[in-house]
Structure formats: C-alpha cells, structure tokens
C-alpha cells in the first residue's frame, strides 16, 4: 500500500511538473537577431546564417528596407527569392505538414506569411518591374497579388485591394488595351478615399508608403488565436510638388483592414483542435491520476489504480507536449497605408518634393522627401518612397 501511494504521488508530481513546464512554453521566434542598427546588413546576415524556415521572413523585411534606401537591385534579388519560395512551399512544405500535428509548433514551419504579406511581396516586385520598364510583368505581379488575396478554391471571398485593381487598369491602358473593368472594380473597392484619376499619358508614377503596418500576437487560453495589432501612421496622406504642380496622394489601401478581413485560416481550425486536445487530455489526465490515487487506498483495487495513474500520466504528457500556439512571426516593417500618384513631365531633369500630411492636412516636420528624376521620352519614370525613406534620391 505504501509503495503504491508513493508511486501515485510521484506520478502526480511528474505530471504537475510537466504541466508547469508546458505553461511556460514560449512561442518560437526567429533565432536570428532582429534588425537593430543597420536593418539591411542585419537582414542579410540573418538570411545567410539564420534557420532556413525564417529565410523568406528576412527576405521580405530586408527587401523593403533596401527599397527605402534606393537599393533596388538588392530588393529585386530578395523578392525574387522569396516569391520563388512562396510558389514552392504552398501545399508541399514538410514542416507545414508537421505543424498540423498535435506535437509540432506552427512556428516551426517554413515562413511564407499570411495573405496580406504575400500580397505585398508581389506588390513591391511589381513596382520594381515597372521601374525597369516592364509594365506587363508589373501587371502580372499585381494580378498574382490579387490571387493571394482570393479564395480561388471555395470562392468564399475575393481580392479587395483597390490599388492593385487600379494599377492593373493603368498598366493595361498603357499597354494599349482596355482596362475599364479593372478600374470599375478599383473604384468600387476604394474604402480609404477616392482613387486618383486614371491618366495613361502620365509618365511619372509615384508609389508611396505611409506609417507602420500591422503585427501579430497570440491570444487565447493556449495562445492559439492569431490576432493583429493595428499599426500606426501619423501621416494620412502625401502631396507631391514639382514646378508649381501639387498632386495629392491619399491612402488607397489599409493593410490592417486587409490583414483582419480575409477570413479564417485553415490553420486556425487546426490550432483550435490542438487547444481542445490539450485541454481534454489535461483534464482526463487529472481525473485518472486522482481516481487512481483514490483506488490505491484499497488493496483489491491497487492494480487498477496503477493502470489509472499510468493512463493519467500519459494523458498529462500528451497535453504538455501539444503545441497549439499560433505563429506570430511578422513582416514587421510593412506600412499601414499604400498610396499612389502620377503626373506628366517633359523629358529632362526634374526635382520633386513629397510632403507627408497629418490628419489635419498639415505638412509634417522632418518628413519631406526630395527626388531628382531624369524623364526619358517614351518611358515611365517610377518612384518608390516611404515616410521612412532615405533621400535625396537620384533616379
């Protein structure tokens, strides 16, 4: 009797210890250091030396940091690599399949991002294609981005980025075709304000990012619910000034809205099931161990007691090993708003200034950007800017 009681007590202690260690589990994060000083150098180091599962995450972050410095060749390379991995990973990644199991964390899978993050990878690559004089490839990227934002299998929801449809329409018009259907969709989907007028003859195209976009966090009993923080943008719009002209650039799309309105992920249901399994096995384990301890008080039920305690211990171990935590790795330097403006300039050199405006439409001190461009006949000059960009730029 004494030995049975000691065994039962030991099992309870082990189970409780396992449960306690489970409660302290922290959602896995990228092991490479986050950018602190030089975001491009730190990002490149993380790409080269960090775990392969985080490579796309760092390519996203570093590509955008490079674009804000005007290092567009480096951004092209990283976005091409990331987009290739998106195509290769979708539905075929072994780690993603493991992450669906009870005992492997979602954060161990190869990162390709949530739909809004994949959309932005294609969006930025489209800008770079247009910058290289390839509006057809730019349009293909904008359309691929819309596919990432759509449910192509069940048709539950459709892409609703106004700017992507608008750019599809503009590129189509510049290529000599009719883009009116895409323009109509763009106008219908505009939620943050009116889109600029479509002017296919405009030869200076300005893509503008505003603010700091959404990031992820986990909520719920077992951190199984993927949630989003809204981000922040003191600047709500911008204005482009050149040679007496002033062209407004209002926010066209809100990435927090996009992150939170696409609908539930398949992984959300998997994590919910994991949480349910963890909760149930923990409860069953407790009941079995307590019941076994009670049965151990009587000689005739000691054998059954040992079985109950052993079963309870296994249940507690299963519960402690279950990993329902949501993956909260984020492309954390995305903007909150994306915007666009265009104008027509004569061939030659021009200097543009871009002011960022607060909610009262007042210019924000210290944020004005300066860009010098050389307009070539018959070609579009494409400018990418963020309120975090390093200027002046010479394009």
How confident is the model over 312-344, as pLDDT tens digits?
Answer: 555 556 556 555 577 889 999 999 999 999 999
- What pLDDT does residue 22 have? 43
Burial (Cβ within 10 Å: 0-12, 13-18, ≥19) of residue 367: middle
Confidence band for 264, pLDDT divided at 50, 70 and 90 = very low
The number of CA neighbours under 13 Å toward the Cβ of 362 is 5
Question: Which pairs with CB-CB distance under 8 Å and at least 24 residues apart come from 98-104?
Answer: 99/267, 99/327, 100/267, 100/270, 102/274, 102/277, 102/278, 102/318, 102/321, 102/322, 102/323, 103/321, 103/322, 103/323, 104/323
Taken as a whole, the chain contains a residue count of: 395
> Which two tokens mark 79?
């976005």
Of the spans 26-30, 304-308, 382-386, which averages the highest pLDDT? 382-386
Task: Count CB-CB contacts under 10 A for residue 375.
Answer: 17
Residue 301 belongs to some domain of the structure: no
Count of domains observed in the chain: 1
Q: Rounded to an integer, what distance in angstroms lies between the CA atom of residue 35 and that of residue 70? A: 18
Strand, coil or helix: what is 386? strand
* Contact predicate 323/293, CB 8 Å: no
* Mean pLDDT of the 239-252 span: 95
Q: Share the mean pLDDT of the chain.
A: 80
- Which range marks the domain in which residue 129 is found? 39-268+326-394
Integer-rounded Cα Rg, in Å, for the chain is: 27
Residue 164 belongs to some domain of the structure: yes
Tell me which of 256 and 293 has the higher pLDDT.
Answer: 256
Residue 185 belongs to some domain of the structure: yes
Which residue in 34, 30, 40, 33 sits closest to 388, CA to CA? Answer: 40
E strand residue ranges, the chain: 204-210, 215-219, 225-229, 237-242, 245-254, 337-343, 348-357, 369-375, 381-386, 393-394
Instruction: Tell me: pLDDT of 9 over 70.
Output: no
* Mean pLDDT of the 29-36 span: 50
First to last CA, the chain: 85
Name the DSSP class of 363.
B
Residue 304 belongs to some domain of the structure: no
Residue 128 belongs to some domain of the structure: yes
Confidence band for 16, pLDDT divided at 50, 70 and 90 = very low
* Mean pLDDT of the 133-148 span: 96
Residue 17 belongs to some domain of the structure: no
Residue 5 belongs to some domain of the structure: no
- Separation of CA 235 from chain center: 21
């Amino acid at each position: 009797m004494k030995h049975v009681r000691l065994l039962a007590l030991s099992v309870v202690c082990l189970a409780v210890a396992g449960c306690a260690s489970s409660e302290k589990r922290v959602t896995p994060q990228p092991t490479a250091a986050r950018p602190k000083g030089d975001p491009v150098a730190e990002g490149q180091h993380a790409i080269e030396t960090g775990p392969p599962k985080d490579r796309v995450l760092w390519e996203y972050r570093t590509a955008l940091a490079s674009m804000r410095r005007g290092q567009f060749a480096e951004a092209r390379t990283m976005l091409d690599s990331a987009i290739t991995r998106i195509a290769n990973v979708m539905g075929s990644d072994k780690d993603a399949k493991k992450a669906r199991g009870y005992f492997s964390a979602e954060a161990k899978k190869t990162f390709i991002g949530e739909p809004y993050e994949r959309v932005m990878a294609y969006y930025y690559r489209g800008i770079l294609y247009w910058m290289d004089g390839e509006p057809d490839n730019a349009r293909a990227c904008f359309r691929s981005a819309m596919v990432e934002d759509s449910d192509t299998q069940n048709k539950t929801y459709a892409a609703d980025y106004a700017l992507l449809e608008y750019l599809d329409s503009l590129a189509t018009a510049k290529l000599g075709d009719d883009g009116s259907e895409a323009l109509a969709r763009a106008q219908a989907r505009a939620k943050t304000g009116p889109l600029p007028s479509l002017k296919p003859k405009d030869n200076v195209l300005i893509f503008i990012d505003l603010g700091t976009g959404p990031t992820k966090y986990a909520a719920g009993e077992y951190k199984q619910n993927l949630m989003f923080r809204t981000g922040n943008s003191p600047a709500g719009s911008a204005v482009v000034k050149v040679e007496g002209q002033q062209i407004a650039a209002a926010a066209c799309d809100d990435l927090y809205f996009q992150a939170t309105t696409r609908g539930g992920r398949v992984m959300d249901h998997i994590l919910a099931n994991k949480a349910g399994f963890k909760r149930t096995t923990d409860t069953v384990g407790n009941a079995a161990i307590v019941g076994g301890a009670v049965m151990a008080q009587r000689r005739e039920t000691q054998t059954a007691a040992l079985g109950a305690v052993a079963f309870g211990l296994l249940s507690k171990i299963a519960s402690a090993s279950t990993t329902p935590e949501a993956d909260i790795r984020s492309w954390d330097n995305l903007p909150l708003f994306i915007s666009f403006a265009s104008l027509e300039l004569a061939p030659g050199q021009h200097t543009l200034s871009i002011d960022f405006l607060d909610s009262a439409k007042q210019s924000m001190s210290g944020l004005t950007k300066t860009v010098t461009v050389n307009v070539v006949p018959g070609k579009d000059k494409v400018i990418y800017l963020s309120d975090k960009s390093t200027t002046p730029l010479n394009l």
